[in-house]
């Protein structure tokens, strides 16, 4: 069962191009060429993100759970994420 630190998750999302918008939760949006592609959020309480929430956040970000974990742990990059989105048809290929 995977567990991620909320602060590390938020830091990693920002580092990889997600824009943070604070309201009741910490919202993170990923924009590509002026189009909103995906969004997710974390709670203000800074608790660890458990397996259930990791799965939910990964779906919101249009990626598999293992990809999301690697994305947060920085073994997957923003370019890897964009390649994934292109392969899924979520964004057009530049090639």
Per-residue model confidence (pLDDT) at position 87:
96
Confidence band for 24, pLDDT divided at 50, 70 and 90:
low
Q: Is the pLDDT of residue 6 over 80?
A: yes
Q: Is the pLDDT of residue 50 over 90?
A: yes
Q: How far is CA 56 from CA 2, 72, 76, in A?
A: 13, 14, 19
Higher-confidence residue of 13 and 25: namely 13
Per-residue model confidence (pLDDT) at position 95:
58
Mean pLDDT of 49-56: 94
Per-residue model confidence (pLDDT) at position 22:
72
Q: Is the pLDDT of residue 71 over 90?
A: yes
pTM beyond 0.95: the answer is: no
């Amino acid at each position: 069962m995977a567990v991620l630190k909320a602060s590390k998750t938020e830091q990693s999302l920002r580092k990889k191009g997600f824009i943070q918008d604070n309201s009741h939760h910490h919202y993170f949006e990923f924009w590509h060429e002026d189009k909103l592609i995906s969004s997710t959020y974390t709670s203000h309480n800074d608790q660890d993100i458990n397996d259930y929430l990791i799965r939910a956040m990964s779906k919101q970000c249009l990626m598999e759970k293992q990809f999301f974990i690697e994305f947060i742990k920085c073994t997957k990059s923003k370019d890897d994420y964009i390649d994934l989105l292109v392969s899924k048809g979520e964004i057009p290929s530049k090639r």
